[in-house]
Amino acid sequence: MEAGAGGREQAGDAGVVLTFLSAACRQRAASLLASMTRDEKAAQMILAKDGIVTTSQITSYGIGAVLADGYYKPGHGATSDWAAHIAPLHAAARASRLGIPLLYGLDAVHGMSHATDAIIFPHNIGLGATRDPDLVERVARATAVEIAATGADWTFAPTIAAARDERWGRTYESFSEDPVLVGSLGASAVLGLQGHSLGAERTSILATAKHFAGDGATAYGTSSVGDLDRGDVTLNESDFRALAVAQYVPAIRAGVGSIMVSYSSYRGTAMSVNRPWLTNVLKKELGFEGFLVSDLNAVELLPGTSDTNIEAAINAGLDMLMESDSGLDALSLISDAVAGGRISSARVDDAVTRILRVKCGLGLFEGTERSLDPTVASPAHRLLAKEAVEKSLVVLKNDLGVLPLNAAGGKILLAGSGADSQRRQMGGWTINWDGSDADDATGTTLLSALTSRLGQSVVNAEDPTDPTGADAVILVMSERPYAEYLGDASDLTLSAVAPDDVTALSYYSQYDVPIIAILFSGRPLVITEELPKVSAFIAAFLPGTAADAIVDVLYGVTHPTGKLPMTWPKSMTQLPINLGDPDYVTDPPLFPLGFGLTY
Ligand code: BGC
């Protein structure tokens, strides 16, 4: 990815133009840089937290970027509330001495998943089951349109970790255990969010490939927070490159403008201060020309003092610090470190240049002109969500062709913890961080989707109900919602994760009525004991809004095509298990990577 003759923007890949490397953006960054004070440069290098930073601080310091953390919610959290809230922050930045535009970022990780009226698409694990790069790009494009309507211009997505151990609480953020599939779908997500050229569309949203590198590949038990999240990667270098770094290459070729650095460490060195990987590999060897942002308080959380940690992180190659809980402390620490020669001016100039170029490529200097878009939550986006869910469902069992069900049949008894629960259907990072507010999203639960299709024939069995006379029992088993380390788990057996559902299964299996099990979960769970008790089993992952798609697959209106994006273990002692492991054949999993029935 070398600069083209005459400074022309470079083609990173077929059809991708790296607008942030255009001659105009290089020039804009250089001339601004020449007129910036040390403090103004430092102000571009921090990502301040919404709710803590004020509009007057944005104006007086020239703060360059603001984030909404997982719990931030203006007003009622509707798109219009976000838009009304974000616009003044942009205005405050424009009113600063140099008027450098602000980046406003948030975690829109499965649709504009912070807005109560947005379409919530399946989490990445479900998109991985579709194995459909074109679909992933279309989902990301629709997401970008719904983000743009809020006035935000940056999303901390896609996660391009290959989840190698489903005890990890962020497994659902991963497209697959297979880094090649992750690389392909991750690049599609970048193209969808940013457009084929950053800033070419009014609704272009800056994407963030995250978390570089090794999240998903940490060794169990090495984390001081959960058992895996924020842990240590102990792989040798060639495995680390193949499993955790390789997927960044397609994302960079797709023109990703920012990359977030992982909380995890590689062989004992935190990635946030890891110069060999951040600067030597990611920036120099892989040619990443966008900017590197740290994870929330990641530098703050390192052992040591804030000033030495910040110096180490910036000297290692980080360009922007999400040190948001410490307010604007990071700004003065950066500035002081430059004054004291502990961070070189050249390093700071490089960081600020990268940030300014991306802002320019995104078109922020021309004014974003973002406004409420009539396509938010439009029928077209709803249909797209439905298509994504249909293609993400993986049928693991279908004895005697019990599926598809006959629409002209009799009664259906619907039971289980996920039958009528948005939070269980949508999971973490929905409305708020851990998904506990997901009931505020605008969605359709399976109960409402099934009832609107079948009317009176659906019996909602909140308590064990004699199913005699019913065509089938549909038992919707589910994991509670969670995010990050909250989801790290040492026991993924269904009886540990969903004990009430397993009790319900025992109850219904006494009767001579077929049981169709549907599982809402962020990862494969150990279902080996329960599987013989059901006639059919559908892994639905965390599908989001469009439960009507599940009804269509149950009734054969659409045919299931999803294939497992991750190996399905048969016991806890088998974990971690991934295709290519030496004992994959001699001690096979319950279902291999790629498994999925159809009808
Ligand atoms: C997560 C990131 C996220 C950030 C901002 C962190 O806790 O690890 O994935 O982008 O918060 O919400």
Q: Which atom of ligand 1 is nearest to the CA of 68?
A: 12
Regarding the beta carbon of 69 and ligand 1, being less than 6 Å apart is answered yes
Percent of the chain exceeding pLDDT 70 equals 96
**Per-residue confidence band for 7, with pLDDT thresholds at 50, 70 and 90:** very low
Q: Cα(43)–Cα(59) distance, rounded to whole angstroms?
A: 11
Instruction: Record the pTM.
Output: 0.97
Q: How far is the CA of 296 from the centre of ligand 1 (A)?
A: 6
Regarding the beta carbon of 215 and ligand 1, being less than 6 Å apart is answered no
DSSP structure class, residue 397: E
Regarding the beta carbon of 296 and ligand 1, being less than 6 Å apart is answered yes
pLDDT tens string 265-299:
999 999 999 999 999 999 999 999 999 999 999 99
Regarding the beta carbon of 107 and ligand 1, being less than 6 Å apart is answered yes
Percent of the chain exceeding pLDDT 90 equals 91
Q: Out of 319, 390, 479, 484, pick the active-site residue.
A: 484
Q: How far is the CA of 547 from the centre of ligand 1 (A)?
A: 27
Beta bridge partners of 532: none
Q: Cα(518)–Cα(528) distance, rounded to whole angstroms?
A: 15
Q: How far is the CA of 429 from the centre of ligand 1 (A)?
A: 10
Beta bridge partners of 472: 412
Segment among 129-138, 169-178, 198-207 with least mean pLDDT: 198-207
Q: How far is the CA of 434 from the centre of ligand 1 (A)?
A: 11
Is the model's pLDDT at 14 over the cut of 90?
no
Regarding the beta carbon of 229 and ligand 1, being less than 6 Å apart is answered no
| AA letter at 414 | L
Q: How much is the average pLDDT of 207-214?
A: 98
Regarding the beta carbon of 295 and ligand 1, being less than 6 Å apart is answered yes
Q: How much is the average pLDDT of 225-250?
A: 96
Is the model's pLDDT at 330 over the cut of 60?
yes
Q: Is 533 exposed, middle or buried (0-12, 13-18, 19+ CB in 10 A)?
A: middle
Residue of 295, 431, 484 best suited for mutating to test ligand 1, as the one with most atoms within 8 Å of CB = 295
Q: How far is the CA of 170 from the centre of ligand 1 (A)?
A: 11
| Residue 295 is among the residues annotated as catalytic for this protein | yes
* E strand intervals along 267-390: 269-270, 291-293
User: Residue 456: its pLDDT value, please?
Assistant: 86
User: Residue 1: its pLDDT value, please?
Assistant: 33
User: Residue 169: its pLDDT value, please?
Assistant: 98
User: Residue 479: its pLDDT value, please?
Assistant: 98
Q: Cα(338)–Cα(317) distance, rounded to whole angstroms?
A: 15
Q: Which atom of ligand 1 is nearest to the CA of 173?
A: 9
Give the closest residue (by CA) to ligand 1 atom 6.
296
How far is the first Cα of the chain from the last one, in angstroms, to the nearest whole number? 46
Q: Which atom of ligand 1 is nearest to the CA of 211?
A: 9
Angle at 452 between CA 447 and CA 456, to 5 degrees: 85
Give the closest residue (by CA) to ligand 1 atom 7.
296
Residue of 72, 73, 107 best suited for mutating to test ligand 1, as the one with most atoms within 8 Å of CB = 107
User: Residue 9: its pLDDT value, please?
Assistant: 55
Residue of 147, 156, 292, 484 best suited for mutating to test ligand 1, as the one with most atoms within 8 Å of CB = 156
| Structure-token pair, residue 587 | 């001690």
User: Residue 326: its pLDDT value, please?
Assistant: 80
Establish how many alpha carbons lie within 13 A of residue 45's alpha carbon, considering only the half-sphere containing its beta carbon: 32
Q: Cα(218)–Cα(229) distance, rounded to whole angstroms?
A: 7
User: Residue 516: its pLDDT value, please?
Assistant: 98
Regarding the beta carbon of 548 and ligand 1, being less than 6 Å apart is answered no
Regarding the beta carbon of 485 and ligand 1, being less than 6 Å apart is answered no
Q: How far is the CA of 432 from the centre of ligand 1 (A)?
A: 12
User: Residue 141: its pLDDT value, please?
Assistant: 97
**Per-residue confidence band for 3, with pLDDT thresholds at 50, 70 and 90:** very low
Q: What is the mean pLDDT of the chain?
A: 95
Q: How much is the average pLDDT of 238-261?
A: 98
Question: Alpha helix (H) ranges present in 400-547?
Answer: 422-426, 446-454, 494-497, 499-508
Q: How far is the CA of 466 from the centre of ligand 1 (A)?
A: 45
| AA letter at 358 | V
Q: Which residues contact 510 (CB under 8 A, 6 or more apart)?
A: none
| Residue 434 is among the residues annotated as catalytic for this protein | no
Q: Cα(540)–Cα(475) distance, rounded to whole angstroms?
A: 12
Give the closest residue (by CA) to ligand 1 atom 4.
296
How many other C-beta atoms lie within 10 A of the C-beta of residue 196?
A: 18
| Structure-token pair, residue 514 | 């077929």
User: Residue 104: its pLDDT value, please?
Assistant: 97
Q: How much is the average pLDDT of 109-123?
A: 97
Is the model's pLDDT at 8 over the cut of 50?
no
Residue 466 CA, chain-centre distance (Å), reads 41
Give the closest residue (by CA) to ligand 1 atom 8.
295
- The residue ranking higher by pLDDT, 10 or 595, is 595
Q: How far is the CA of 39 from the centre of ligand 1 (A)?
A: 26
